[in-house]
Chain A
């Protein structure tokens, strides 16, 4: 027992030292300016060319780092901010800068973004990267949308100028069959999504965040529950009855795009992202500016601008800023944009923010690129404040309930629902901005704590040592076998200490701090505030979700085990050749990358377009709401996870079943037992006994099953905005809520609670499992 205490103390000390040890960071850089750029090879090559020229002119070396996707740029930038090879310039999306600016990670670019540069770029390119009047980035590509139309169905002259004309023309162009079902859509809207319908919402007076007089967003002013929104809801409901919106909540933008490609949609509010497919399908398409609310008014598309920001922790500020200016020249922008659009292919991937590039022959000679770039002055950047993404997270749930009813089929009062939406957003904004008071610890407290632990360890060690020397019997206990045992365990224990024990201790510490999106570097201790919040506001959700998580994990493990053992038994008895073929098939779920198969299941189980429902409809079976009805979604989730884990149990059981002595079965058969009896009374208990630890492990794996996040994202969403969805496990819910508002300290507190709960639970399970396996046979 003493040894355990000693070990624990030593390990604690080691990790306490480790967690406060200053990270080894070199203060001076290697003189190389690093730029994280694109996912496109050609575009990076163009940037290399520019970098080489820059090096020739100035002698400053620039390294272009290719990136996978711009979506991870902000997160990865935060992680690498003080790395030895930290990026100096990062290509990212404007909405991502809010947290980074709040944490002081971005360099203000007043000097580079002067009045001369402002005249050379469209205003949205600079506005999108400005906060409180200070520019933090330079826009490069404007990701916007407009009215995409099929020239075979609507001529350029007939295009609507106002929303009223748009709705009238859409109705006029719509073709219905004898039963009144729409076969060709004048336009088709997705009422769940606010991104593309936002200009219409604006025309009715709705808005997400208001603005302060100085033009900055005011996250406390939410315009999603005003009078205008009710009119908007009435309009969409009217369109819904006419069949001009998506008919079910499981359809999405891609449904509209597929219809457009099939030539069945005249107009849609969309961008040129799938232009290559339009071309392949032979659609004569065009893009134009959105209809306007009325004469003299302009509709603004919700836009994401992508551009370059500068690391505030850069080690070579002057060189970095010089290169940023250099690549922002008209000539270099032209080079980049042409490469980004695939040269002569003119894909429309990048929509220039530079006015000279827009005016260039490259853009103007192509009808669609010209039309797209003409939209650059008619757009509104997605809010870039740190609260920016909050409103967007809840709108889908809210509009789904309003337009498609609740998950149980009931209808909702739009006014109450919109009010609930606004309230949920206000809550999150308030929570994000809540600043619990920091606790200031006396200087050098860490040293005292370390000293205390070190002293305690030394004392404990001394006592153990003395007792060993004095007591010959005890000395015998410290045998060569024990030495050998501990020695052999060292490699595994070191690994576990590094990758499990350290994160646990570090999380315990983080759970007591205000570490969050707005305090990425300067977080401090705030005491129990995170825990208090979990137990005061979210306790009921926490309890109900824990229940479901337990049920989920138990059912998945139980079913997989039974199915696996059954298959193993059947295969052992089947002919060798046939068994071989079946085994090859049944192992497939185990050997194909999980992420892929999860997404495939998601597609297969789609209520509207999923292959399974298509297949069932051949037999006249009506569509099953696999993932959209709360109860059915829970069953589906369990079945999909069983599908993933049964091959493992099959493989593990096969070996075990082969080793069960034949006499057991023979004896039972003599007594007249049937196959059913043999399986449940001999095979299952024996295999179960050998697999108790594996079963417990699997249970724990399922308890923290993150695959559910990929499959359903926790949905279908609860009818109460912000409450856990039907298939939300503890871990997915925490991931959703804590990371939604970037409160990492809160997430750490949840993870500590989950850990304690599961650890206690599995201790109990182990006790019971041990008793069960000892009691049987």
Chain B
């Protein structure tokens, strides 16, 4: 009896904590929605608008290239996502399963090289794009995002791959499976939660990136990804058009939400018990 009361008390505390945190988390989004749907709002100083309107969305579709932007972003992000998942699974397999001299140094090289502040070296990135003929070309963005997200995610993925027991590999090897078969049929299925995280995270990186895109996608208005299109609205000559901006933000978040909730099953589903020992 005493124990149940204590449990209930703990549960209550937990829920209060969760609810408070949830409120803090939701707060900015409510704010975005208010500005996107509110009427006559100047700047960001919106506090419960009196009237609501869909006018900002109408203007977004008629006055800007919103559909072009979101289309570009979706293409770039999806291809980046696929490329990153392939690159990361292959590289992590090498780091986690193969044994050869220089592997540790290679791993360290991959980690260290990406601490370079790319934000301060746009000139070099730009020159590279010019030399490769990738200026104003979505292919260039896909390449650079694949590099950034693979480099960033390889390390996390390795941590996960290492938790998958080597005994499984050996058992499969004994059964005559090739390396590729082991990767495809033994390791990757077990690593699915991590691959799902890699997929979502690489999509998010490509979808959100602004600095490089705004430097190399400069000539046409309809070739830009969403982040650049959005940002250009905030530096508008006549002050930021917050209503339009927030309307775009609301719609722009939809693809990432869909992706996340579709993938959620995979990385929250858990693994078959017993297959993994820590």
A residues at B contact (CB < 8 Å): 3-4, 18, 21, 23-24, 36, 39, 41, 65-72, 76, 79-80, 83, 85, 87, 143, 252-255, 257-258, 261, 273-274, 277, 280-281, 349, 477, 479, 481-482, 484-486, 488-489, 491-492, 495-496, 498-504, 506-507, 510, 515, 567, 570, 574, 582-597, 599-604, 606, 609, 611-612, 614, 643, 648, 651-652, 654-656, 658-661, 675, 686, 690-694, 696-697, 700-701, 703-704, 706, 731, 734-735, 738, 744, 747-748, 750-751, 754-755, 758-759, 762-763, 766
Complex CA distance for A753 and B111, rounded to whole angstroms: 18
Contact present for B232 and A68 (CB under 8 Å): yes
8 A Cβ contacts from B88-125 to A: 90-91, 93-94, 98-103, 105-106, 108, 110-121, 123-125
CB closest chain-A residue, reference B259: A591
A contact residues around B47 at 8 Å (CB): 609, 611, 614
Contact present for A593 and B207 (CB under 8 Å): yes
B contact residues around A601 at 8 Å (CB): 28
Pick the residue among B103, B112, B125, B143 that contacts A759 (CB under 8 A): B112
Q: How far is the CB of B149 from chain A (nearest CB, A)?
A: 10
Number of residues from B at the complex interface, CB < 8 A? 124
Contact present for B120 and A23 (CB under 8 Å): no
CB closest chain-B residue, reference A758: B115
B contact residues around A590 at 8 Å (CB): 204, 260
Q: Which residue, of A258, A486, A591, A694, has the highest number of chain B Cβ atoms within 10 A?
A: A591
Main SS class of interface, A: helix
CB closest chain-A residue, reference B112: A759
CB closest chain-A residue, reference B100: A482
Pick the residue among A570, A592, A655, A703 that contacts B271 (CB under 8 A): A655
B contact residues around A600 at 8 Å (CB): 28, 31-32, 44
Pick the residue among A76, A254, A731, A758 that contacts B43 (CB under 8 A): A254
CB closest chain-B residue, reference A25: B130
Contact present for B45 and A609 (CB under 8 Å): yes
Complex CA distance for A508 and B264, rounded to whole angstroms: 43
Contact present for A595 and B22 (CB under 8 Å): no
Contact present for A593 and B44 (CB under 8 Å): no
B contact residues around A697 at 8 Å (CB): 111, 152, 155-156
Contact present for A595 and B227 (CB under 8 Å): yes
A contact residues around B264 at 8 Å (CB): 583, 587
Contact present for B115 and A593 (CB under 8 Å): no
Contact present for B45 and A606 (CB under 8 Å): yes
Contacts A485-B100, A492-B91, A706-B211 known; list 13 others, CB within 8 Å: A67-B221, A488-B94, A499-B128, A499-B147, A500-B118, A585-B22, A593-B252, A595-B208, A603-B43, A611-B27, A660-B278, A758-B115, A766-B108
B residues at A contact (CB < 8 Å): 10, 14, 17-18, 21-22, 24-29, 31-32, 40, 42-47, 63, 87, 90-91, 93-94, 98-103, 105-106, 108, 110-121, 123-128, 130-131, 133, 135, 143-144, 146-148, 150-152, 154-156, 158-160, 162-163, 179, 193-194, 197, 200-201, 204, 207-208, 210-211, 214-215, 218-222, 224, 226-232, 234-239, 245-246, 249, 252-253, 256-257, 259-261, 264, 267-268, 270-271, 276-278
B contact residues around A656 at 8 Å (CB): 160, 163
A sample of 13 cross-chain residue pairs with beta-carbon separation below 8 angstroms, ordered by A number, consists of A24-B131, A68-B228, A484-B98, A488-B93, A499-B143, A500-B113, A595-B208, A597-B28, A609-B44, A658-B270, A659-B276, A738-B120, A750-B120
Q: How far is the CB of A381 from chain B (nearest CB, A)?
A: 16
Pick the residue among B87, B91, B121, B230 that contacts A507 (CB under 8 A): B121
B contact residues around A567 at 8 Å (CB): 18, 21
Contact present for B121 and A748 (CB under 8 Å): yes
Q: How far is the CB of A544 from chain B (nearest CB, A)?
A: 19
Contact status of A496 and B147, CB under 8 A, knowing A506-B124, A595-B210, A604-B28: yes
Contact present for B156 and A693 (CB under 8 Å): yes
Contact present for A80 and B135 (CB under 8 Å): yes
Complex CA distance for A157 and B208, rounded to whole angstroms: 54
A contact residues around B278 at 8 Å (CB): 659-661, 686, 690
Q: How far is the CB of A685 from chain B (nearest CB, A)?
A: 11
Contact present for A693 and B111 (CB under 8 Å): yes
Q: How far is the CB of B196 from chain A (nearest CB, A)?
A: 9
